[in-house]
Structure 1
Amino acid sequence: MRVYGRRKVLALAAGVLAAATACTGNAPPPTSKAPATPSASPSPTAPAVAITQAEAAQEFFKITVTDDRLRVKSPLQGRLAMAVDQTMGGQTELTKAAFLSTGNAPLRHKWGTPTLFVPRWAPNEPAPWFSAVATRDGSPALLTFAKSDGWRLSSVALLLPGQQLPEFQRDADGYVTALASDDKSITISPQFMGPVHASVAETGSAGVTAGLVAAGPYTTDVAEQIASLREKAKNDGFSYDSIFSPDSFPVYALRTKDGGALIQYSLSRTTSTTTKTAEDDYIPVPESARWAISTPVLRRTLRLIETHQYASVVPSLKAPAPAAVIAHDGALTRASGQ
């Protein structure tokens, strides 16, 4: 079923590319902007790579334009399945919810020309990926695309107000440097960024991870919100808890020019509310979950699952400081209860 669905997506993407080329006088899709200050002249005989910067631009264009076509409400059968087949990681859950919560008429996005951050992967790299920054509906967004049997969109996070991307380490040909998941040259290894963030979002300044991630609306403020809602629920005769988890979401890290890293990762947030007293103490279902739960109240339990995608700047061990969340996007992706 997945192979068949993938073929339909590829066929649609081919049509999109052909139509776009015809409309632009055979012009190629947008390419990345050149680095502002290249460190050296390009090497005359660059070695082969798993994906070139020009190919990455093609993939960005193909996937974002195909996604836009699939978001147009139409009688085309299987639009949701085809849209999901273009994704992986946290984007899969977010794409499903975008369609299901809107009656298969999700918000369409307008993308700007990307600036690409492509690691120099060896030709035999089994799981290459690359990132890009481009405006989405006028706001800068950081995207990451990864390859399994085909290229898919894995992560999208919008830059927070006042934030900007750090400069990345580039080689003479403009390729950036990817970090291994267990890299120990930065204050938080990529594989631990999600769990550390989850701990700070749950326990705030009181937990063992306090100080590892900077305070803010997606870390310590969330912990304060959870503590406040837990106390209110207790006074109202309910039990309440909200837990963050990195699950098995992929993690991507790029070396910054100062020796630190930009790490992209996803977390799920599961919030549970349960009645503790008489059965007439109903649990109200929030408006944001009515697409998944038809009744306005529930008698016993309410379970809400959100998917969040982040990008954080993590300093080098040579200049230790708290990691800082600079980009985020997320939404309610599942809801259930009884």
Structure 2
Amino acid sequence: MAAASGCTSAVQPLPTKAAAAVTGTPTPSPEEPALTKAEAGRVFREITLSDDLLRTHSDVPGRLRSAVELVRDGQAAIVAAAYQSTGDRPPRHTWGTPMLLVPRFAPGQTALWFTALVTRDGRPTLLTFAKGGSWQLSSAAELLPDQEPPQVKLDGDGYATALAPDDKTVTISPQFMGPVHAAVAETGSSGVAAGLIASGPYTTEVATQIAALRDSAKKDGFSYDSIFSPENYPVYALRTENGGALIQYSLSRTTTTTAKTAEDDYIPVPEAARWAIRSAVLRRTLRLVETHQYATAVPPLSSPSPAAVIAHDGALTRASGQ
């Protein structure tokens, strides 16, 4: 990926003698963007250091509340589950040096965000931070094995370009990335979105798994369904060198199992959900909600091909039943 790890803006070059002769005065430096790389570096350090401090094992009350204040969107559900499922003993992270991918926002713009490519626990991870009232971590997705991040296009000062939600220069506009992925994860290669996203463990293979589990549940006297939804989380998109986009987004997955005869057919509760449901079995219904975050490389419309999921992270974030 093009180098973007500096935390200060590059020094502007002096004008040539020829340029000075034409203008009579030195060429002015471009106006400073609304979000500088120096500010992005400070935000990354403050949030990751605060997160690590809160994850340090202790009996100090209120750590979950403080931890949730550092995150938003899909990360809010994932972080809350990390604390609740471990008795307030979530695993700590180790961090490398970030490569900052900061969009050039116009002065005065307030909906600011940036991405950091960083080694987390020894694995390359894309983190995206967004500013509402304060800066918070919005998304995190680990690069899949053997995947390389696409080359993000940078200007002369090392700033990236953010794509509009309805950008039509790529094969899947950012605003449609979540719905298209959800459709492929549910229906696989036979659905209307087939071919738009490459097959793999987070797309067509999930659809195959859902179909198999539905058939198995039916034979055992249960009904089973699993639905993906984009929710109302933001989508982040950066222009890549090939004219495509690196798009980051979240999906929720809601899986419901229902017993057709409530008295004798018990529904087993997965071990991963026992932190939320104390019983080992339920009589009537089991509902599991997962939160997943992805990064996908989307080709330019000028060279159409299937988009590829390159990074993922997720967790079981809610469970209920009776």
> Which of 21, 45, 48 is the equivalent residue of 1:61?
45
Of residues 105-114 and 49-58 in structure 1, the stretch that sits farther from structure 2 once superposed is 49-58
Larger Rg: 2
| Partner amino acid, structure 2, of 1:117 | L
CA offset digits 1:128-184 (Å, max 9, x no partner): 100010000110000000000110000000000010111111111100000000101
Seq. identity, %: 65
Aligned to 1:33: 5
Q: Secondary structure at the match of 1:87?
A: coil
Partner residue, 1:4 = none
Deviation at 1:47, TM superposition (A): 1.0
Of 61, 66, 71 in structure 2, the residue corresponding to residue 82 of structure 1 is 66
What is the 5 A alignment of 1:117-128?
Answer: 117-128=101-112
SS of corresponding position for 1:212: coil
Which residue of structure 2 aligns with residue 98 of structure 1? 82
Show the 5 A alignment for 1:40-189. Answer: 45-189=29-173
Q: 1:265 aligns with which of 238, 241, 249?
A: 249
Q: Equivalent residue for 1:224?
A: 208
TM score, norm. by length of structure 2:
0.92
Structure 1: gaps spanning 5 or more residues: 1-30
Q: Which amino acid aligns with 1:173?
A: D
Sort the Cα spacing of 1:41 and 1:195 in 2 relative to 1 into closer, same or farther, 3 A.
farther
In structure 2, C-alpha distance between the alignment counterparts of 1:310 and 1:278, rounded to whole Å: 38
2:201 is the counterpart of 1:209: no
- 8 Å Cα contact 1:41-1:172 kept in structure 2: no
Equivalent of 2:259 in 265, 275, 280:
275
- Please tell me whether the aligned partners of residues 32 and 113 of structure 1 are also in contact (alpha carbons under 8 angstroms): no
Shift of 1:32: 5.2
* Partner SS state of residue 185, structure 1: coil
Tell me the distance in 1 between the aligned counterparts of 2:294 and 2:113: 17
1:206-236 alpha-carbon deviations (Å, 9 max, x no partner): 1000000000000000000000000000000
- CA deviation map 1:110-132 (0-9, x unaligned): 01000000001122112110001
> How many residues in Structure 1 have an aligned counterpart in Structure 2?
305
Q: Distance in 2 between matches of 1:269 and 1:208?
A: 19
Preserved CA contact (<8 Å) 1:129 1:145 = yes
- Determine whether 1:298 maps to 2:282: yes
Contact 1:204–1:219 (8 Å) recurs in 2: yes
Q: Relative to structure 2, which stretch is displaced further, 47-56 or 238-247?
A: 47-56
Per the TM alignment, residue 281 of structure 1 is displaced from its structure 2 partner at its CA by 0.4
**Partner in structure 1 of residue 21 of structure 2:** none
CA distance in 2, matches of 1:160, 1:178: 23
Give the AA of the match of 2:296: S
Task: Measure how far apart 1:73 and its partner are.
Answer: 2.1
Given the two structures, how large is their TM-score scaled by the length of structure 1?
0.88
**More displaced, 65-74 or 323-332?**
65-74
- Name the Cα RMSD after superposition: 1.7
The match for 2:307 among 306, 317, 323 is: 323
- In structure 2, distance between residues paired with 1:41 and 1:119: 21
What SS does the corresponding residue of 1:253 show, helix, strand or coil?
A: strand
Gapped regions of structure 2 (runs ≥ 5): 15-26
Which piece of structure 1 moves more, 72-81 or 84-93?
A: 72-81
> SS in structure 1 opposite 2:165?
coil
TM-aligned CA distance change 1:309 to 1:80, over 3 Å = same
Q: Separation in 2 of the partners of 1:174 and 1:225? A: 43
